Amino acid sequence: MNPPAADPLAAGLLERLPLLARDALTGALPEPWRWVANGLLAILAIIVVFSSLFALLTLAERKVLARVQNRPGPNRAGLPLTRFRLGGLGQPLADGIKMLTKEDIVPRGADPVLHFLAPVVLLALSLLTFAVLPYGRLLVPVELEAGVLYFFAAGAATELALFMAGWASRNKYSLLAAMRALAQLISYELPLLLAVVPVVLLAGSLSTSGIVAAQAGWDLGFLPRWFVLTPWGFASFLIFLTAALAESNRSPFDLPEAESELIAGHLTEYSGFKYALFFMAEYLGMTALAGLGVTLFLGGWRAPLPFLEFVPSYAWFGLKLLALLFVFIWIRATFPRLRIDQLTRLAWKFLVPLALLNLGTAALWALTAGWGPALQPLRWLGAVALVAGPFVLLGRGLTAGLRPRTYRFA
């Protein structure tokens, strides 16, 4: 990991703990090799941490869904070869062994090279996005001047892997589902990017650590200056969250693999290890998008209250990330799936106009940054009106003439 701009010695011992551990491991090496070893160690740390997070996330998702639906969820598998069940904590291990020992089937008419490459490319690209997230005050794996752009460039290429999977399977359901997935991903790429642009505008930086640095400080002595706590930032955050759900194929936007309509979409012809790779890439993509949301809107690794700053920054990042992931699971348990026409209409007629208007609001916010304390309430009122007014009007306009469905035979 690169040494950041801040003076590392000024931070506390807990804050420097990961760096100290790294130096203890690689400190003996001569200079060019040390740099290489540090890079490899960062890659290894990211892979290990987020792979185990993925394993725990699959279990957490099933447990939370079960809790919402009033059933116990997986609770049998525990420590292998013992009688300790630990509330089902061994489930990811059992799932992994099941996936690895399944037969890997390639359809006869399939394109074997592309069929193999699709999950590999997808996983590699979703791992690439983790490189630019600032995990802590001193933990930025790669410091890029255009970090946000890099994140989206790596994320945009996942569409290609989806197409490869659908086309290489030589199955009409796979291809149809892949085309639908592409339509969805392209539709939601737009609001996702448009929701990020106001943040870049206000932070004046495309680098992720620059955006975190722009959210430093406290209002009134205790309110953090996170972007989500401004009118435009709140609207941006909601648009970002919706688009991120759609980009990571999560319910209520999980049409690409809607098992009740399209068998399993582009995953139909995948089994065993390749299926597990797809699964893992999907969860990693969701985690990366949640991490970007934390960085852009929720202050990154910053503590929520001034007196809590003694807790190391990476702990705050982890807590916020887990909270956002919990929201994702919660949404999955709550909302029914959308239809494909509703899905695209939501993106093009609702989210994109709102995001564009929100960009204007953010520009006004930036222009009025110099207003004195007397004019601040006016600034807030104006911004709130600019955010809430179009939301209400557009929502009314789009749902005019629609009533809740009545079930006569239920």
Partner 1 sequence: MIALAAIALGTLAAAAVALALRDLIHSALLLIASWVGIAAFYLWAGAEFIAFAQVLIYVGAISMVVLFAVLLTRPPTAPATPVRSGRTVPGFLAGGAVLGLLAGAVLSSPLPAGMGAAPAFGVRELGLKLLGPHAGALLATGALLTVALLGAVVLAAGRGKEDAP
Query: How many whole angstroms separate alpha carbon 249 and alpha carbon 252?
Result: 8
Q: Which of 146, 216, 340, 398 lies at the binding interface for partner 1 (CB under 8 A)? A: 146
Closer to partner 1 at the Cβ: 185 or 321? 185
Give the interface segment with partner 1, choosing from 57-65, 181-189, 298-306, 365-373 (CB under 8 A): 181-189
Q: Does 163 bind partner 1 (CB under 8 A)?
A: yes
CB of 44 to partner 1, least distance (A): 23
Give the interface segment with partner 1, choosing from 56-64, 139-147, 310-318, 333-341 (CB under 8 A): 139-147
Q: Does 156 bind partner 1 (CB under 8 A)?
A: yes
For the record, the structure tokens of 213 come out as 């640095």
For the record, the structure tokens of 51 come out as 């792979």
Query: How many whole angstroms separate alpha carbon 208 and alpha carbon 3?
Result: 15
Cβ atoms 21, 15 nearer than 8 A: no
Q: Which of 186, 216, 223, 323 lies at the binding interface for partner 1 (CB under 8 A)? A: 186
Closer to partner 1 at the Cβ: 206 or 319? 206
Query: How many whole angstroms separate alpha carbon 327 and alpha carbon 321?
Result: 10
Query: How many whole angstroms separate alpha carbon 327 and alpha carbon 333?
Result: 10
CB of 118 to partner 1, least distance (A): 11
Cβ atoms 126, 283 nearer than 8 A: no
Closer to partner 1 at the Cβ: 143 or 309? 143
Q: Does 189 bind partner 1 (CB under 8 A)?
A: yes
Query: How many whole angstroms separate alpha carbon 280 and alpha carbon 113?
Result: 20
Give the interface segment with partner 1, choosing from 98-106, 147-155, 251-259, 385-393 (CB under 8 A): 147-155
Q: Does 157 bind partner 1 (CB under 8 A)?
A: yes
Q: Does 128 bind partner 1 (CB under 8 A)?
A: no
315 DSSP β-pair partners = none
For the record, the structure tokens of 29 come out as 């090496």
Helix (H, G, I), strand (E, B) or coil at 312: coil
Q: Does 179 bind partner 1 (CB under 8 A)?
A: yes
Give the interface segment with partner 1, choosing from 57-65, 154-162, 303-311, 329-337 (CB under 8 A): 154-162
Residues numbered 88-127 forming contacts with partner 1, rule: CB under 8 A: 114
CA quadruple 215, 216, 220, 224: dihedral, nearest 10 = 60
Q: Which of 1, 122, 131, 164 lies at the binding interface for partner 1 (CB under 8 A)? A: 164
Query: How many whole angstroms separate alpha carbon 195 and alpha carbon 191?
Result: 6
Give the interface segment with partner 1, choosing from 23-31, 141-149, 266-274, 323-331 (CB under 8 A): 141-149
CB of 153 to partner 1, least distance (A): 4
CB of 71 to partner 1, least distance (A): 41
Closer to partner 1 at the Cβ: 152 or 273? 152
Query: How many whole angstroms separate alpha carbon 403 and alpha carbon 410?
Result: 17
Cβ atoms 73, 62 nearer than 8 A: yes
**Helix H or strand E encompassing 224:** strand 223-224
CB of 146 to partner 1, least distance (A): 5
Give the interface segment with partner 1, choosing from 84-92, 175-183, 276-284, 339-347 (CB under 8 A): 175-183
DSSP conformation class of 30: -
In Å, how far are 185, 258, 276, 375 from 181, measured between CA atoms? 6, 10, 19, 47
Helix (H, G, I), strand (E, B) or coil at 223: strand
Q: Does 167 bind partner 1 (CB under 8 A)?
A: yes
Q: Which residues bind partner 1 (CB under 8 A)?
A: 114, 144-146, 149-150, 152-154, 156-157, 159-160, 163-164, 167, 175, 179, 182, 186, 189, 206-207
